[in-house]
Amino acid sequence: MSIQHALLVSLLEKPSSGYELANRFDRSIGYFWQATHQQIYRELGRMAERGWIVADNAAGGDKRQKKTYQVLPAGREELIRWAQTPDPSPHGGRSLLVKLRAEAVIGPLGLDEQLREFMAQRQAQLDIYRAIERRDFSPERMTPARRLQYMVLKRGITMEEGWLEWAQEVLPLVSRTPPPA
Amino acid sequence: MSIQHALLVSLLEKPSSGYELANRFDRSIGYFWQATHQQIYRELGRMAERGWIVADNAAGGDKRQKKTYQVLPAGREELIRWAQTPDPSPHGGRSLLVKLRAEAVIGPLGLDEQLREFMAQRQAQLDIYRAIERRDFSPERMTPARRLQYMVLKRGITMEEGWLEWAQEVLPLVSRTPPPA
DNA sequence: CCATCCATGTAATTCGTTACATGATTAT
DNA sequence: ATAATCATGTAACGAATTACATGGATGG
């Protein structure tokens, strides 16, 4: 998943302290990615070690005072590298959301291939659910228990459909070659 | 989250071995909850220690052979207790899916209050997103970058709407007092 | 001066992931 | 026989959660 890359995007959008990031994470990206402040501080520390980000706080030792972090070129490159690496996990959609925000701050990343692959995966999962639906949930013989089980499956189905419709709408925004009128 | 309760439901639906559960978890509940087999074996071991489940494997020591687990009364009671405890986390919807399957196997649990509370939370989050939408994404001044950011927000919006519509449909199935015609 | 919020951190524990290991059963 | 699959487990590591601690800044 990588919280680090989500943090990089947030920092590119606006240099911030760990505390601010922790609060900001409640909004926007926050429904999809939640992170505690300890988690955020840890990852900020690591990214600083790796030279991806710096705190503006010059020499003063580790006094307990506000540190505003900024993204360094190495961090920017790492974000681009990550954004161009497909995430085949079932939560690939969440990654794509972060990648879209990345594209919004640092320009075209060529995400259309990843998006198409993602759509193919969602379609495949949807087909599986549809098959189960036809096999196990025909309108006859619908006991109350079966109806409840069906609602669970239905949530899976509409989730997949939701991602597919969304991806369909995103596609023209990330395509290098817009479809001819 | 509690994988344990998801496993209890699966075992009530059908007594199984850890291996079978690991494979089964790919389907049905599997999109929402994924668990590796090591995780499943560990949790099965713990639940057996607590007396929630038993392996049918009588005395034979820990020979590496198939153990089919069954839910004991204590496990059943624990599942009911958990199902009747609200989950206020942002992923409360996932819990509700498991609880619906629980209700399907062990009968009415009185979930309507939890469902209504869940809907109120989703509605509140939706209102927040709608406010951001009105404030930051008016149709004028839509740069390409802004359009990308908007698609991220839109995914949040349709997710909330998806949960709300689903919950609306589930409500009559878990209500003790069905609405008068 | 006292409470509250801002801001960062350490420590302990639990959870999840990955790698590895082992043996039993079934099919070729 | 031997390969594949079924089936369970140990060990090590890294990530996440929870509790706790510290101190500066702000407002009443």
User: Which chain A residues have a beta carbon less than 8 Å from that of B132?
Assistant: 27-28
Question: B181: which strand partners?
Answer: none
What pLDDT sits at residue A59? 45
Residue A95 scores a pLDDT above 80: yes
Closest CA to B123 of B79, B159, B95: B159
In the block, tokens 């379609």 appear at: A123
Min Cα separation A95/chain B (Å): 11
Is the Cβ–Cβ distance between A48 and A69 less than 8 Å? yes
On whether any CB of chain A is under 8 Å from the CB of B97, the answer is yes
Query: In angstroms, rounded to a whole number, what is the distance separating the alpha carbons of residues A7 and A174?
Result: 22
On whether any CB of chain B is under 8 Å from the CB of A144, the answer is yes
Question: Which segments of chain B have a pLDDT < 70?
Answer: 1, 26-28, 57-64, 178-179
DSSP secondary-structure letter at A32? T
Min Cα separation B2/chain A (Å): 18
- Predicted confidence band of residue A34 (pLDDT cuts 50, 70, 90): confident
What pLDDT sits at residue B172? 97
Token digits for A53?
């980000």
What pLDDT sits at residue B59? 45
CB neighbours of residue B82 within 10 Å = 18
- Predicted confidence band of residue A90 (pLDDT cuts 50, 70, 90): confident
Does the C-beta of A65 come within 7 A of strand D? yes
A63 compared with A142, residue with greater pLDDT: A142
Query: In angstroms, rounded to a whole number, what is the distance separating the alpha carbons of residues B84 and B107?
Result: 13
Q: What are the residues whose beta carbons fall under 8 Å from the beta carbon of B71, sequence distance 6 or more? A: B8, B11, B12, B15, B52, B53, B79
Closest CA to A15 of A56, A52, A73, A50: A56
Q: Summarize pLDDT for A57-82 with one digit per residue, the tens.
A: 654 555 667 889 999 999 999 999 99
- Predicted confidence band of residue A91 (pLDDT cuts 50, 70, 90): confident
Mean pLDDT, to the nearest integer, of A155-173?
97
Mean pLDDT, to the nearest integer, of A9-26?
89
Task: Say yes or no for a CB contact (<8 Å) between B100 and A148.
Answer: yes
The rounded percent of chain A whose pLDDT value lies above 90 is 74
Residue A126 scores a pLDDT above 70: yes
